[in-house]
Amino acid sequence: MMPVVSSGSDSTKTLRKAVILLSGGLDSYTVAALARRQGFELYALTIKYGQLHIQELEAARRVAHVLDVNEHLELDVDMASIGGSALTGEMPIPKDRSLDKTEIPATYVPARNTVFLALALGWAEVLHVCDLFIGVNALDYSGYPDCRPEYIKAFEHLAALATKAGTEGTAFHVHTPLIKLTKAEIVKCGIEMGLDYGLTHSCYDPGPNGRPCGHCDSCRLRARGFDVAGVFDPLITRLD
C-alpha cells in the first residue's frame, strides 16, 4: 500500500484505469507511482522476453505488490529466439563503454518497446483503457531509438489506426512522464514520493547473488543519477 502516492481523491470515486509497463527497474517503478498518484487504477504488465536474469522479474513482482496494483499480468514472449541483443545472450554485455547516444549499444533488443507497447495496447483495448504508461527517457539513456518522443508520437498514431477502439474514436495516450528528465531528476521525484528504490533492479549483468556489476550502462546511469541527486542508492546499501 502506498499512501505516499495517494491521489487524495474520494475513495468512492471510480478511478481511471491505466496499463503500466512494469520491468522492475527504477524508471518503471517511478512511472507506476506517478500514475497511481494521478488517480489511475494500475494494471501492470511485465514481459518475460528471454532476458538472461530473473532478478528484474522478481523486482517487478515486489514493486507491483508495494503499489497494490489491481492486476499484474506476466507474459512470455521469447525474443531470445530472434537474437540480436546482449540482454538475451547473443553477445557479451558491454562494460565501462563511452555512453555515446549516437551509437546503438549491444544491449538494444530489436523492436522491444514496439513489441511491449503492442502487447500493452492489446490488453488496454480488452480492458477498455486508453491510457498506457512507459518509463522511457530521452536524456539519460543508452542510445535506444525507441525511447525518443517522436517514436512515442508515432506509436500513438499507429494505435489509432490499428485497433478497433481507435477506428471507433478512442484516442490512446502513451504517457511518458520521465522522457525529458535526467536520471537524477527521476531519483529525486521518487524520493519525494517516498519510493523504496531498494526494491528495484537495474543491472544488465548481476552476480549470482543479484549484486549489480557496477560497470554496465544501466548500473553507471543509475549510480550517476543517485550521485547527482545527492542520495544513497538503497539497493546497494541493502545488498551490503
Residue 1 included in any domain: no
The three three-digit cell numbers of residue 170, written as one number:
478512442
Exposure of 122 by Cβ count < 10 A (0-12 exposed, 13-18 middle, 19+ buried)?
middle
- The answer to whether the CB of 200 falls within 8 A of the CB of 235 is yes
Question: Which tens digits make up the pLDDT trace of 177-220?
Answer: 999 999 999 999 999 999 999 999 999 999 888 889 999 999 99
Output the pLDDT for position 103: 80
Domain of residue 25, CATH code: 3.40.50.620
Whole-angstrom CA distances from 147 to 45, 85, 88, 111, 154 are 18, 17, 19, 11, 12
- SS3 state of residue 124: helix
State the angle between helix axes of 55-67 and 26-37 in degrees (0 to 180), rounded to the nearest 10.
20
Measured CA to CA, the distance from residue 68 to residue 190 in angstroms comes to: 17
Output the pLDDT for position 209: 82
Sorted by sequence, the CB contacts under 8 Å of residue 228 that are 6+ apart come out as: 182, 183, 184
pTM listed for this prediction: 0.91
pLDDT band at 238 (very low <50, low <70, confident <90, very high): low
Name the residue range of residue 211's domain.
Answer: 16-239
Output the pLDDT for position 84: 95
Whole-angstrom CA distances from 30 to 7, 188, 207 are 15, 10, 25
Cα torsion 182, 105, 85, 29 to 10°: value is: 0
Residue 6 included in any domain: no
Residue 159 included in any domain: yes
Residue 31 included in any domain: yes
Question: Which tens digits make up the pLDDT trace of 125-184?
Answer: 999 999 999 999 887 666 788 999 999 999 999 999 999 999 999 999 999 999 999 999
What domain count does the chain have? Answer: 1
Neighbours of 171 (CB within 10 A): 10
Question: Which tens digits make up the pLDDT trace of 138-149?
Answer: 876 667 889 999
Question: Which tens digits make up the pLDDT trace of 65-82?
Answer: 999 999 999 999 999 999
Residue 2 included in any domain: no
Residue 126 included in any domain: yes
Residue 85 included in any domain: yes
